[in-house]
Amino acid sequence: MSIYSTVKPLILGSGSPRRKDLLHSAGLTFEIKPATCEEPAPLPGQGPEDYAIKMAELKAENVAAANPGSYVLGSDTIVVRDRDILGKPADREEAYRMVKSLCGRKHKVISGCALISPEGEKTSYAVSTEVEFIDFNEASVRAYAATGEPDDKAGAYAIQGQGAFLVKGISGSYTNVVGLPLARVIETLVQWGVVVPGEG
C-alpha cells in the first residue's frame, strides 16, 4: 500500500532524478516535463529566498503554459554562503573552490517551490535548511571534486551521496538539501486535493 495516491493529474516540472525519487518514495504518480525556460541571474538586491521562489514560479509557469489540464510543481534549490548564491560549478576546479569555501562553516540550502492548478491558481514558498561542514583538508576536498559527483549540483556537493562525509550537522529538512522539501510539498498537495493518504 502506498503512503499517498495521486488523484489529480500532476506534473513535476523538473528533470532532477533526486526530486523524482523523493516524490516516488511517498507513492506519488506524476509526469516529468522539465522546464525549458532560461534561468536568469538574481536581480541586484534580491534576497536568496525571493530568488528561489521566483525561479520555481518561472519553471512552473513555463510547464503549465504547455499543459493546461494538470497541476504543475516547480522547484529550484540554491546554496547560499553568507549572501552569495552558489550555483553549479563550471568545472572540477570551481567545484573544489566551492566546497573548500564551505568547509568549517555553516551555509543555507534554500528550495523555492511553486504549485499551479489547471485554473491558474498558484501557491509558492521557500524552505531553508542550515548545513554545517567539517573543516576538511585540501586533499580530501580535491579528491571529492575529482569524483565528478559535484559537477551538476548547486554548491558542488550531494548530501545523499559521497558528499555526506563533509556534513557535520543540519538544522531543518534533510530532503530539502537533497533537492525538495518533501514534507512541505506533500502538505501542499494534500491541501490542494492533488494527493490523498493511502491507495484512495
Q: Which residues are catalytic?
A: 76
**Cell numbers at 121, concatenated:** 491558481
In angstroms, rounded to a whole number, what is the distance separating the alpha carbons of residues 103 and 131?
11
C-alpha cell, 168: 557535520
Q: Could you tell me which of 55, 16, 37, 6 has the C-alpha nearest to residue 175?
A: 16
Task: Say how many Å lie between the first and final Cα of the chain, rounded.
Answer: 10
- The set of cell numbers assigned to 96 is 573544489
Q: Is the Cβ–Cβ distance between 103 and 112 less than 8 Å?
A: no
CA-CA distance, 52 to 40, in Å (whole number)? 11
How many other C-beta atoms can be found within 10 angstroms of the C-beta atom of residue 62?
18
Q: Are 169 and 123 in contact (CB under 8 A)?
A: no
Strand pairing partners for 76?
Answer: 112
Residue type, 71: Y
